[in-house]
Structure 1
Amino acid sequence: MRVIRLASIFQAGLLLAGAVMAAAPAMAQDGILDGAADADAAPVSRWSWFGDLLVRYDHVQGLSNDRTVSRWRGRGRVGAEFAAMPELSFGAAIELAQGSDHNADNRINNDNERSDGGNLDQFWLRWQPAEQTRVLLGKAPLPLELSPLTWDADLRPAGVSLDQSFALGDYSRLQLVVGGFAAQHLYDDDTRLAAAQLAWRWREGAPTNAAVLLSYLDFSDLDQLTRQGLTRTNRRRPANGPLLSDYRLVDLQLVGRSAIGDWPLEARLDLVRNLGADDQRDGARFSLVLGSRLRPGGWEFGYSNQRIQRDAVLAAFNEDDWWFHSFTHGFMPWIGYGLDERWNLRLAAFREQRDGLPRHTDRVLIDLAARW
C-alpha cells in the first residue's frame, strides 16, 4: 500500500509539472506568457502564471513511546495572475497534496496542512494606487516578513492589508505593513489575526545590506482551535479548558546580508515575547545561510538554532518543519543544491529536545522542490 501511495505522489507531481510545461508553448503562441512573443510584434501579455512543487521524505525518531514516523509527502500549487491595469491585478491558485500517511495522523504529527486533499490556495486582488503603496485583499501569503519562529510560510490567511513605504535616500526605505486576517488553520479554524510590521531596510538591493523588523501579532478567537486539539505544547487550563495565555506577540528581527566572493551570506536573529503570558513567554532563533540553492548549480549551507518557551508563540501557526512548536530547544543544519533555474534539492537534519523529556528527537527531511 505504501509503494502504491508513493507512486501516486510522484505521478501527481510529474503530471502537474507536465501539464504546466505542456501548456507553456500554447500559452506562448497565444501571447499569454511574458516574453512569449517578440515585444515589437505583439503587446505584452497581461496574464502570467506561477507555481511550485515539493516532494519530501520525512523520518522522525526519538518520540514518546518509541514511536517512529517515516513518510513521503507531495504538494503542488498552480496559479495565474491577471493584470487588469497597471494599478490593479488579480490572482488565484489551487493546491493539491498527497502523502503516504493519512489526514487522521496530521494532529499527532503536528502538521499545519493535510497530507491528502486539495484546496483553494490563493484568491486575491492587489491594488497599487501609488508607487510605494499597496493594498492586498483576499487569500494570499501573509504580507509580513516573519521567520519560522512565529509563522509558517505555507499557511494562507484571508484578509486585507496595507503596505506603505517611505524612501530614505537612494537605497534605504521605511516600510509599514498592517492588516487583519482570518488565519484559516485546519478543521474550520476561527482564529483571527491582527498584525503590524515596521521595517527599516538599509541599502536594499546593495551587495551589503541590513534590515530591522519590528512586528506585532495579536491572535484571537481561539476556541475552535482549542476544541480541535491544535494547541499542541501551549498550556491549557485544567480539565482541557481554554488556553492559559493570550497570544499577543512582539517580534524583533535583525538581518544582515553580504557576500563572500560570489557566495551570498545572510545572518538573522529573531527574538519574540508574548505579552499575553505571565511567564514562559520568550523565544529566540538564530540562522546563518551561505550560498543559495535557488541558483543553477548553486550550493547552500545553513544552520539555525532556536529556543522557545512554552507560551512564547502560538504553537499552531509557527513552522511545522520543526517537530515541536514550543516548549523546546534544538538546532538544524542543512545543505542544498540548485539543479537548474527551477529545480533544487535540500537535506535538512533536526535535533530537538522538548523540555521535560529525557532524550532528543531527531528528524531528517529530504526535499525535491521546483518553482515556476
Structure 2
Amino acid sequence: MLALACAGIAPAFAQDTTERAEVLKQIAALREQQARIAQLQRENEAALRALEATLGVVAPAPAATPVQTAAPATAVAAAPSALDRLKVTGDFRLRSQHDRSDDDARDRDSGQVRARLGATFAINERVTVGGRFVTGDNDDPNSSDVQLSNWADDFNVSLDMAYVQLNFGDLKLYGGKFPQPFARTDLVWDSDVNPQGLGATYRHALGNGGALRTNALFFAVDEDAGGADSTMGGIQLGYDSPAFGGFKYDLSGAYYRYSLGSLAGADSGDWRTNRRNPDGTFLSDYELANLLVGATWQGANEQWPVRVVGDYVKNLGAADNQDTGYGVDVSLGRASKPGDWRFTYGYSQTDVDAVLSAFSHDNIGIATNYKLHAFTVDYTPMPKTMVSAIWYHYKPNDPAYAGGNAPNDWLDRIRLFFLVNF
C-alpha cells in the first residue's frame, strides 16, 4: 500500500514542480517587461523635458506619491527641469583695426575687445525674463566695444538688456530694454542698439512653408519731467516665402516716427552727423519709411548659398531733399559649420538726414552723408568660432555736409577679428 501511495504522489509532485517553474518563468518575463516599460518611460520623460525646454513650456508638478520614501527621488528629478528653463548665451570678440586717410589725418592702429553675457529664464509657459551684461561705454548705444588703451584701466561693464517677455503662441510682447524686434540692416539700425519701452512680435507660419510677420515698437527715447518727451513709434509688416526649389525671398516694410521733444539726455554721440538748428535742435523731423527685400538661392551645394539684400529708406520729415539712403549686400557661402567660408560685398549711400544718426551704424567714422563699399570674408575654423576680415572704403557723399572730412578724400578702415560664442 505504501508503495502504491508513493507511486501516486510522485506524478503529482512532478506536476507541481513543473507548474511552479512555469509560474516563475512567467514572473521573470513580467519583471523583464516591467523593466523595459520603466526604461521607455524614463526615455520619454527625458524627451518631453527637452521639448518643453525648447518651447519654453514649464512641466506640471509631479503628482504626490503615497510612498514616503519616493519623495527625495521626486525632488531630485524636479531640479533639472528648473535648470532647463535657464538659457545662458554669450560671446567674446578680439579685434584689430587699421585706419588710413589720404588727406584727413595720420594713419592709426588700434585694438578693441567686446564681451557679452546674457540669460533668459522661463518663469512659466507665459512669462520669460531676460537680461545681458556687456562691455563698453554705457552712454553709447551703438557699440559695446572697449578700446585697448588707458594704461590698462579696467573695462566698463553695463546692463544693456533687462526685460520681461509674454508668450502667447505666435505673439510675443516685450517690456523694458529688450532685443531689437525689426528685420534690419545697419543702414537704419546699428546691430548693438536695443530699444527701451514696449514691443511686440507676431509670426504666423503658413501651411505652404511661408510666414507672415508683424513687429511693433513704442520706444521711450528720452523722458523729460518738465517738458515734452522724446519717443518713437514703429511698425513693420513682413512676409517670408516658401521654398521654390532652392529659391526663397522675404519682404519687410516699416514706418518709424520720432517725436523728439526732449534732447536733455543726448550727447555728441547721439547728434553725430545730422544737421542741427542754432538752438541745438534737429533741423529735420524723422519719419522713416523703410523697405527691405531679401532673396536666397541655395543651389546644388548647401555650403555655398547666395544671399542678396536690398535696403531703402526715405525720411518723410526731412527739411529738404537730403532724405534718402539705400544699400545692397551680396554674400556667397555660409559661416555656421567648421570649414565654412563666406564672402560679402556691400554698397550703401545716405543723405545727411536720411536716418537718425543716433541709432544708425557706427562701423565707419561718418554716421550719415557717406558712400561706402564694404568687403567681408568670414571663416569658421572650429565650432562656435569665427575669423573675419572687413575692409570699409568710404567718403562723404555731399561735399556741402562733409564737416571735418575732406570732401573728396576716400577713407579706409580694415578690421580683423576673432569671435567665440556660446
Shorter-chain TM-score: which interval?
A: 0.7 to 0.9
Which residue is 2:63 aligned to?
A: none
CA contact 1:77–1:121 (8 Å) conserved in 2: no
What is the 5 A alignment of 1:226-265? 228=268, 230-237=270-277, 239=278, 241-260=280-299, 261-262=301-302, 263-265=304-306
| Residues 233 and 52 of structure 1: CA distance in aligned 2, closer, same or farther (over 3 Å) | same
Are 2:373 and 1:331 aligned? yes
Q: Structure 1 length as normaliser, TM-score?
A: 0.79
Paired residues in the alignment total: 321
1:220 alignment partner, one of 259, 263, 267: 259
> Once the two structures are superposed, what CA deviation does each residue of 1:46-83 show, in whole Å capped at 9, x if it has no partner?
21211111111122121764243321111111122111
Q: Secondary structure at the match of 2:112?
A: strand
Which residue is 2:350 aligned to?
A: 308
> Once the two structures are superposed, what CA deviation does each residue of 1:233-290 show, in whole Å capped at 9, x if it has no partner?
21112x3631110111110011001213121221001010001113110111000111
Q: Secondary structure at the match of 1:125?
A: strand
Are 2:182 and 1:140 aligned? no
CA contact 1:217–1:250 (8 Å) conserved in 2: yes
Which residue is 1:157 aligned to?
A: 195
What is the 5 A alignment of 1:1-372? 44=81, 45-62=84-101, 65-97=104-136, 112-113=143-144, 115=146, 116-129=155-168, 131-183=169-221, 192-203=231-242, 207-221=246-260, 223-224=263-264, 228=268, 230-237=270-277, 239=278, 241-260=280-299, 261-262=301-302, 263-277=304-318, 278-355=320-397, 356=399, 357-372=407-422
Q: Greater share of strand residues, 1 or 2?
A: 1
d(CA) in 2 for partners of 1:58, 1:220: 36
- Deviates further, 163-172 or 340-349: 163-172
| Residues 233 and 257 of structure 1: CA distance in aligned 2, closer, same or farther (over 3 Å) | same
d(CA) in 2 for partners of 1:64, 1:230: 27
d(CA) in 1 for partners of 2:188, 2:195: 14
CA contact 2:112–2:145 (8 Å) conserved in 1: no
Q: Percent identity?
A: 25
CA contact 1:141–1:154 (8 Å) conserved in 2: no
d(CA) in 1 for partners of 2:161, 2:142: 20
d(CA) in 2 for partners of 1:64, 1:87: 58
| Residues 350 and 114 of structure 1: CA distance in aligned 2, closer, same or farther (over 3 Å) | closer
| Residues 63 and 327 of structure 1: CA distance in aligned 2, closer, same or farther (over 3 Å) | farther
| Residues 134 and 204 of structure 1: CA distance in aligned 2, closer, same or farther (over 3 Å) | farther
C-alpha RMSD of the superposition:
2.8
Q: Secondary structure at the match of 1:91?
A: strand
Q: Greater share of helix residues, 1 or 2?
A: 2
> Once the two structures are superposed, what CA deviation does each residue of 1:173-212 show, in whole Å capped at 9, x if it has no partner?
221111112348xxxxx85321110001111798531111
| Residues 63 and 121 of structure 1: CA distance in aligned 2, closer, same or farther (over 3 Å) | farther
The answer for unaligned runs of 5 or more in structure 2 is 1-48, 55-76, 147-154, 223-228, 400-406
Q: Secondary structure at the match of 1:230?
A: helix
Which residue type is aligned with residue 174 of structure 1?
L
Q: Structure 2 length as normaliser, TM-score?
A: 0.70
CA contact 2:142–2:193 (8 Å) conserved in 1: no
d(CA) in 1 for partners of 2:370, 2:158: 32
The answer for unaligned runs of 5 or more in structure 1 is 1-30, 36-40, 98-102, 185-189
- Deviates further, 320-329 or 279-288: 320-329
Which residue type is aligned with residue 134 of structure 2?
E
d(CA) in 1 for partners of 2:272, 2:353: 11
| Residues 150 and 49 of structure 1: CA distance in aligned 2, closer, same or farther (over 3 Å) | same
| Residues 63 and 79 of structure 1: CA distance in aligned 2, closer, same or farther (over 3 Å) | farther
Which residue type is aligned with residue 393 of structure 2?
R
d(CA) in 2 for partners of 1:293, 1:220: 40
Which residue is 2:15 aligned to?
A: none
Structure of larger gyration radius: 2
- Deviates further, 61-70 or 155-164: 61-70
